[in-house]
Amino acid sequence: MTKLIINQLSKTYQNGHRALDEVSLEIGKGMFGLLGQNGAGKSTLMRTLATLQDADAGTVFLDGLDVLKQPQEVRKVLGYLPQDFGVYPNVSAHEMLAYIASMKGVRSGKGLKEAVDELLARVNLYDVRHKKLGTYSGGMKQRFGIAQALIGQPMLIIVDEPTAGLDPWERNRFYNLLSQIGENTIVILSTHIVEDVATLCRDMAIMGQGKVLLTGKPQQLEQTLLGHLWQKPVSRDELERCQQQLSVISSHFHAGQLHVTVLANEAPDSQFISKPPTLEDVYFTQL
């Protein structure tokens, strides 16, 4: 069974920032969510896995391939959609995808055209395949980005912050596309959006300050907080007192009223009610 095995991976930049601190993960086929704030080390890990930068220590193996020592071989079985995915605005989707496919070794002629047409149909861009990429909406560009990541039937696909800036309709469409891809491929979804992971991923990890803080299945992680979360509406002054006296994991507005969520074995007072845990609560407990 195809697996990506990351062992004790570390990276420190020249300015002294330790971006990766002995990161170890084992990832199999399906959607794997990598959750963390900006600066948690997610993008450094993604770039390292995508063979775009070296690590200082540790190993990464993809189905027997040494990712750090065999980057050229890994790139043949890798699909990558970076956070900032740029396109050539005056080139059509078909032309650009055909060029990328030829660069990745897809045979020319009829086979190349069929492969490109199939990919564009898969991401629902076939009808606009001859339009220039500069005319595409943000969601269409992201779908084109997935199409180029799928070239060559990769063993590993990495998508970094893929739904940032998408409207709800395009985001849902993107969810459906990613879930289909993840049925037979290792797909790593790096994001700071909890809903993306809760919606799509069977397994996940939370990163912070370059370290893996927590791993597991989203639903199982949620269950660990069952009976330990309490919520009540508060004023701003009450919120400050709660923050001083209790383990507050989050506060948010609902229907114009500020609510606070605390972590405790029992209700801190009679006004608190039990709160069903969500993946967002799990995430907040790690920050």
Crossing angle of helices 110-122/138-149, nearest 10°?
A: 130
Query: Both 232 and 180 in a single domain?
Result: no
Is 162 within 8 Å of 43 (Cβ atoms)?
no
Q: What are phi and psi of 267, to 5 degrees?
A: -60, 125
Domain count, the chain: 2
Instruction: Please indicate, yes or no, whether residues 183 and 270 belong to a single structural domain of this protein.
Output: no
Distance CA 130, CA 147 (A): 15
228 and 150 housed in the same domain = no
Give me the pLDDT at residue 110, please: 64
CA 30 to chain CA centroid, nearest Å:
13
**In terms of domains, do 168 and 230 share one?**
no
d(CA 150, CA 139): 17
DSSP line for 85-96: ----TTSBHHHH
The answer to whether residues 195 and 239 belong to one domain is no
* Mean pLDDT estimate for the chain: 91
**Count of other CB atoms within 10 angstroms of residue 187:** 25
Beta bridge partners of 39: none
State which of 190, 216, 242 marks the end of a domain.
Answer: 216
State pLDDT tens for residues 22-79. Answer: 999 999 999 999 999 888 999 999 999 999 999 999 999 999 899 999 999 999 899 9
Q: Are residues 108 and 194 in the same domain?
A: yes
Same domain for 146 and 242: no
Which of left, alpha, beta for 209 (phi over 0: left; psi -120 to 50: alpha)?
left
> In the chain, what's the furthest Cα-to-Cα distance?
73
Residue whose C-alpha is closest to residue 36's, from 20, 12, 60, 55: 20
> 245 and 117 in one domain?
no
Residue 168: pLDDT above 90? no
With cut-offs at 50, 70 and 90, classify the pLDDT of residue 101. Answer: confident
Which pLDDT score, from 0 to 100, does residue 115 have?
Answer: 86
* Strand, coil or helix: 68: coil
pTM equals 0.89
CA distance 146 to 159: 8
Question: What is the model's pLDDT at position 108?
Answer: 63
Six-digit token string for 225: 């907080």
pLDDT cut 70: percent of the chain above it: 99
* Spatial distance between the Cα atoms of 285 and 105, rounded to a whole number of angstroms: 46
Give the pLDDT of residue 53.
94
pLDDT category at 107 given cuts 50, 70, 90 is low
Task: Among 216, 245, 273, give the residue marking a domain's end.
Answer: 216
Output the CA–CA distances (angstroms, integers) from residue 120 to 110, 141, 146, in the order listed.
Answer: 15, 12, 10
**228 and 120 in one domain?**
no
Assign residue 280 the CATH number of its domain: 3.30.70
Q: CA–CA separation, 189 vs 173, rounded Å?
A: 16
Q: Which of 216, 243, 271 is the last residue of a domain?
A: 216
* Domain span holding position 14: 3-216
Calpha distance 226→234 (Å, rounded): 22
Of 75-79, 170-174, 250-254, 273-277, the least confident: 170-174
Whichever domain contains 34, its CATH number is 3.40.50.300
* Same domain, yes or no: 152 and 70: yes
Q: Are residues 236 and 202 in the same domain?
A: no
Looking at the fold, whether 42 and 11 belong to one and the same domain comes out as yes
131, β-bridge pairs: none
| Cα–Cα distance for residue pair 52/44, rounded to 1 Å | 9
pLDDT in tens, 40-52: 999 999 999 999 9
